[in-house]
Chain A
Amino acid sequence: MANEIAKGPAAPGVAKVDPILVADGVRREFGGLVAVDVEHLEIPRGKITALIGPNGAGKTTLFNLLTGFDKPNTGKWTFQGRDLAGVPAFKVARIGMVRTFQLTKALSLLTVLDNMRLGAKHQPGESLLRALVRPLWRKREAEITVAAEELLKRFKLDAKSDDFAASLSGGQRKLLEMARALMSKPVLVMLDEPMAGVNPALTQSLLEHIKGLKDDGTTVLFVEHDMHMVRHISDWVIVMAEGRIVAEGPPNEVMKNPAVIDAYLGAHHDSDLGADKIAKEAN
């Protein structure tokens, strides 16, 4: 497996055969705290990559930096060969790199359907002047409504489409946020803890959705605590601790890596790594 994805033996910062995202020397400090310090990182195209690490490891901060929501102290990164340092967040999303948030950001006072429509690209009606002339955007609106309804059906939210997003449960909001991110048909989706707070009955279908994305050719990078999930669906795992990347590799190899066990468990060396318990410990 490692050979398919990486160019060399699995190690932090290993070069990939076909990287979609390449970061170099990305560093972010808060006061004296170094939240992220990534020397080199490549994300493989067309695969599902999991980013794991204990709380406070800097995963969310790294997401924020890569997607333009925060600015690093130093560092450069490219997406499909395009330099992204200093590019504002909305442009990053337009280029095809769309992220979700750890703390769900459903737009409460918009209906579920409107949440979805907002995710779509190329909407002429989103320009102030054209918005006034309905015929200019009616056709596109119909198209995106169809696309939105399809996705909602896939995510089993179609029954809710006319309700305010505020009325959804926490897990449903996660689903909605993910579905909304897919409306723009992104090249790379970055999901920050998509499974957190989703009830177990839904997680299975969520996993299926993520796998389905890969089948459609979308690259996925997701943050997750639960090793169990990670092992099942990811092609590649990157482990962060204290802002650094401490290990990389195919899931089964990474789970055995002592550096990972160290980073993850600290003192609890005797625990068994595939268990759901780990997720709880890490939290």
Chain B
Amino acid sequence: MTRLRSLAGLLLLLGTVFATLLGGTAASPAQAATCAAADPTLPYIVEGTLLNNGETPLKGVQVNLTGNGVDACVLSDENGYFMLTVAKPAKYTVSIETSTLPAGVGVDPADQASQAVDLTVTSDQGVIFPLGKVADTSVSIWAQLADRLFNGLNMGLLLALASIGISLIFGTTGFSNFAHGDMVSLGAMLTWFMTQILGWPILAAGAVAIVAVGASAYLQDAAIWRPLRRRRLGLNQMMIVSIGFSIVFRYLILIFFGGETKDLGSSTEPVAWMAPITTTSTSLIGMGISAVALAGVALFLTKTRIGKATRAVSDNSSLAASTGIDVERIIRIVWILAGLLTGIAGVLWGLRYQANWSTGFDILLLLFAATTLGGLGTSLGTAVGAIIIGLVVETSALVIPTDLTYASALFILILVLLVRPQGILGKKQRLG
């Protein structure tokens, strides 16, 4: 694996390229005086990437390798990557120096902090340290719960922004878009590119990214979905097309932006007055923006003529058409709106959690759980569903391992389908 990654330019959908710029970010491996760099000429390798919660890279964490007369150490680089090399095949022990982990982060389960590796069977052994927020026993369970609930609300607001788009598109066209999550990734990656590579201020970068995602949504509808609707392609067929498109979309993002998880440069300083809740000023502002955007959508759908027409189309599109509503125009507006909202979600998600090329696809599970829980096709229900999902995913970390919290969303999804498949606010479908 090479440490030097070249960055290709900037993706825009289906041949529309806004800007191209070739730049190089050389990942400078962080080396502290006490740990020497691994000798790349030695043939036996132990390597890994330290990710907090499986997503955020941890830099500068010390990893030790001992055994067979060797005692080496190395610090993880900004991608969380570390590599240790030895000359002889033997059994070694790799351990993480837990004192070098950021506060509140620990190895979970703790016995995994030290692991045996056997370099007699392979010359290149990957090691994974499961890292996550550890329950700090000095903090009361209530304080932890408050923290989780607050962060769950934060996640729920972001999920709501992204999943309302799925819901609106489903409502007006009847089709579940499996490529929706990738717009989240696009928003985050564009923001990263503009802030970290071009050096733009975050407000400008975020605004441009949101508009660009909105534009990409318009293009997706115009180039793919509208022609397919006109061909009267079946809904199941459309779903498969959306899966194919999602693969194309995702790998284009990968090719243009590279595979590393990106830090969008948001503050990591906890806001003191919120204690015991740990949050950052970026997150707080992001939550404010999400809340305003969601309120805006609610007003748009209930108060404006176009919003009312949108709901009429969702209710019964042929009836709406017969009352003179231009259904195609409504669908176009819905796509743009969905793109803008998902763009906001992408920017804020990237700032809050960091992001990579497949972030949006990874959270698709949460988005569909939210829309199903709320009732496919109902925007208000979706927002409520999203917030519930966010709260459950975050608080479930108190009882299940952090790397399995997303599974709680699947659990809810299945539970909803068993008990109330039309969702909290959905209606039953009709039969000829």
Residue positions of A touching B, CB distance < 8 A: 30-31, 60, 64, 69-70, 101-103, 105
Contact = CB atoms under 8 A, between A and B. Distances in A.
Contacts of A70: 431
A103 B432 contact: yes
B308 interface: no
A69 B431 contact: yes
10 contacts: A30-B427, A30-B428, A31-B427, A60-B432, A69-B431, A70-B431, A101-B432, A102-B432, A103-B432, A105-B432
Interface in B374-432: 427-428, 431-432
Which 5 A-B residue pairings sit nearest by Cβ, starting from the closest? Answer: A103-B432, A101-B432, A102-B432, A69-B431, A64-B431
A271 to B, nearest CB: 25
A107 to B, nearest CB: 15
B386 to A, nearest CB: 24
Given A30-B427, A31-B427, A64-B431, 5 more contacts: A69-B431, A70-B431, A101-B432, A102-B432, A103-B432
Interface residues of B, number: 4
Nearest to B432: A103
Interface of B: 427-428, 431-432
Nearest to A69: B431
Contacts of A31: 427
Contacts of B431: 64, 69-70
Contacts of B427: 30-31
Nearest to A35: B430
A69 B429 CA distance: 12
A31 B428 CA distance: 10
B314 to A, nearest CB: 14
A116 B428 CA distance: 31
A240 B428 CA distance: 24
A150 to B, nearest CB: 29
Contacts of A30: 427-428
Contacts of A60: 432
B422 to A, nearest CB: 12
A60 B432 CA distance: 8
A103 B427 CA distance: 21
A244 B302 CA distance: 34
Contacts of B428: 30
B380 to A, nearest CB: 15
B237 to A, nearest CB: 14
B182 to A, nearest CB: 33
Nearest to B428: A30
A101 B431 CA distance: 9
A103 B431 CA distance: 9
A136 B431 CA distance: 37
Nearest to A105: B432
A226 B427 CA distance: 33
A87 to B, nearest CB: 17
Nearest to B430: A30
A64 B428 CA distance: 14
Nearest to A103: B432
A64 B429 CA distance: 13
A192 to B, nearest CB: 8
Nearest to A102: B432
A197 to B, nearest CB: 13
Contacts of A64: 431
Nearest to A192: B432
Nearest to A64: B431
Contacts of A101: 432
A105 B431 CA distance: 12
Contacts of A105: 432
B10 to A, nearest CB: 46
B424 to A, nearest CB: 15
B388 to A, nearest CB: 23
B352 to A, nearest CB: 38
A97 to B, nearest CB: 17
A80 B181 CA distance: 54
A31 B378 CA distance: 14
Contacts of A102: 432
A64 B431 CA distance: 8
A30 B431 CA distance: 13
A57 to B, nearest CB: 16
A102 B427 CA distance: 22
B253 to A, nearest CB: 38
